[in-house]
């Protein structure tokens, strides 16, 4: 069964992490309106472009989503 992007992202949380993806995961954890069941890139990226003020740039999301796809295609 494929996990949602949010479920995958939560595996990357690190409260003391300094890298951008860990910080993204930490911030998404506190974002109560994050699309937690979404799997599609377009749905998540649209949400982040409109509401993800905590994301420094979309490259961070792109990298995390690429990792998510690699994990789900094994």
pLDDT, averaged per 10 consecutive residues of the chain (74 residues), comes to 91 93 96 96 96 93 96 80
Residue 74: the pLDDT is 67
Residue 53: the pLDDT is 92
Range of the domain at 59: 5-72
Residue 57: the pLDDT is 93
User: What does each C-alpha distance from 44 to 15, 17, 18, 32, 33 come to in angstroms?
Assistant: 23, 23, 23, 14, 11
Number of domains composing the chain? 1
- CATH number of the domain to which 47 belongs: 1.10.150.260
Residue 2: the pLDDT is 79
User: Residue with structure tokens 């979309």?
Assistant: 58
C-beta neighbour count of 50 within 10 angstroms: 8
User: Residue with structure tokens 């993204």?
Assistant: 24
């Amino acid at each position: 069964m494929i996990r949602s992007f949010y479920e995958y992202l939560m595996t990357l949380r690190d409260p003391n992490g300094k890298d951008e993806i860990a910080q993204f995961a930490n911030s998404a954890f506190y974002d109560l309106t994050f699309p937690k069941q979404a799997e599609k890139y377009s749905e998540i990226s649209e949400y982040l472009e409109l509401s993800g003020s905590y994301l420094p740039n979309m490259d961070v999301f792109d990298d995390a989503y690429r990792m998510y796809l690699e994990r789900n295609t094994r």
